[in-house]
Structure formats: structure tokens, C-alpha cells
Amino acid sequence: MKLRAYLVDDEPLALDRLRRLLEKTNRVEVAGFTTIPEEAVAELSANPPDVCFLDIQMPRLTGFDVLARLPSQPIVVFTTAYDQYALQAFGENAVDYLLKPVEPETLDRALNKVERLRGAGQTVQPDLQALLRQISDSLRHGNAEFPTRIASRLGDRLWFLDLDLVSHFYAEDKLTYAVSEGKAYCIDHPIAELEKKLDPVRFFRIHRGTLVNLEWIREVSSLPGGALNIRLKDLKNTDLTVARDRAREFKARAGF
């Protein structure tokens, strides 16, 4: 029997992507979805699903606010832009999480866990306040463990780049480059790995192949179709594009 799922995300593009990925698995019946947190509270209260895929960062009500207003807690898979280190607390509360943009492999992992919980007859009743405290503590203490330098290999030598001076990372021809003081340095880590490795407060993935240091942004302007252009305060006044499906989250992270 398929899992009945309800989806909540304030980003329509992210919601549509998740819905399509779930339907392709043939393991899930999407019973409903919404971009409005208040509507989610009403629907989840009236017709509890087997699993709720719930965004954390939403206007008016966060994902935790939504859960706090429900008479009973469903099995929850959180969707979020926070890095994996900060979300270690979720595993201790019998829930799972998906990092945006959601990928099929991690979605399968989450569905496997949900099916195990459902098959065992378990219900999820996380202590929301404890969960928030754990996440907050992870973010606060975790910042000290994020790297401050990154290595670039030149032949048999390693150069160490100060991340404060790295304006952005980009992928090209299956290689990854860090741009520092106007020069591009080849590094061993792919963009997806860097996104998890670096401090999410400072570095944000604006495109599949680009990770930017938010502290190096000089100005932001709109592009046709919902994308954004950002100009860096480097010597070249470098212009980079924020993908349309990342624009809303970028604005929230950049503080505007």
C-alpha cells in the first residue's frame, strides 16, 4: 500500500519538484500540498497523512510552529537548506530530513525510514522545544568547527586559501575552482560537498555549479523570469546568476 503524503513548502517550485519526485517513486500517493502554513495546519488536523514533508523556514509560521498546532504529530520529513551537521539532532527524534534541492537518492532514504516506522506501528511525537534547542546548539557550536582555510593542489604542492578571501566557488569542465583575490584555484571538492562542508551562514549555493560567499556581494538586481544577478565587490566586479528556484531562499539568507 502506498504512503499517503502531505507536502508543505512556501516555495512553489520546490513544492512542485518534490511532488514530481514522489510520484515517480510509485511508493507515495500525494494526498495534498500547500504553500500556506495555516492551511497546512487545518488539513493535517482534519486528515492526518502517513507522512508530512514539511519545510522549516516559512513566513508567518515555521515548520515547527505548524507541528506545535497539530492535535497529534504525524511522521515528519523536514525539508531545509540547513547543512547536515546542524541537523544531527533530527535523527534522535525519529524524524528525517531532506536538504534542498531534494535529490532522488536522499528521497528514497527518507521513504525507507518512513516505511520502517509505519511498518513497526510507531508514531512520532518529537519534543519540539528540545528539537529546536538541539538545532540551535548544533548551529552555534558547529560554527567553530567549520574550516577557515581550504587547500588547492598545484602539482606536488598545496596552497592554503583563507576562506575569508574566497569570493565564490564554481564548477567547470568537471573541476571545481575557488576564486580568491582575482585568481582561480583548482580544489578537490565538488560544489555539492562544499555546500555541506562550509559554514552555511557565510556560503550559499546560488546555482547547481556556483557557491558564493555572501560577504562578498555588493549589489543584487532582478533578471527576467525570476532569477537574480549579484555583483561581487571583487576587483573584476564579477556578475553571478542566482537560479530562479534559489532566489527566494537566497533573499531570506541574504537578509532582504
pLDDT at 86: 44
Q: How far apart are CA 199 and CA 204, in angstroms?
A: 9
- Give the model's confidence band at 120: pLDDT under 50 very low, under 70 low, under 90 confident, else very high: low
Domain ranges of the chain: 3-143, 147-254
Please report, to the nearest 10 degrees, the dihedral formed by the alpha carbons of residues 162, 164, 166, 167 taken in order: -170
Q: How far apart are CA 196 and CA 99, in angstroms?
A: 10
What 8-state DSSP symbol labels residue 174? Answer: T
**Overall average pLDDT of the 156-180 stretch:** 92
pLDDT at 34: 95
**Phi, psi values for residue 26, rounded to 5°:** 60, 20
Q: Give me 187's grid cell.
A: 580544489
For domain 147-254, say whether CATH 2.40.390.10 is its number. no
Q: Which amino acid is at 256?
A: F
Q: Give me 238's grid cell.
A: 564579477
- Give the model's confidence band at 83: pLDDT under 50 very low, under 70 low, under 90 confident, else very high: low
What are the percentages of helix, strand and coil residues in the chain, rounded to 5?
40, 30, 30
pLDDT at 132 over 90: no
Residue bearing the bigger pLDDT, 154 or 145: 154
CA nearest neighbour of 110 among 235, 199, 21: 21
pLDDT tens by residue, 166-177: 999 999 998 999
Other beta carbons within 10 Å of 135: 19
- Give the model's confidence band at 233: pLDDT under 50 very low, under 70 low, under 90 confident, else very high: very high
Whether 3-143 and 147-254 share one fold: the answer is no
Most confident of 64-68, 102-106, 149-153, 203-207: 203-207
pLDDT at 255: 64
What CATH number is given for 3-143 in this structure?
A: 3.40.50.2300
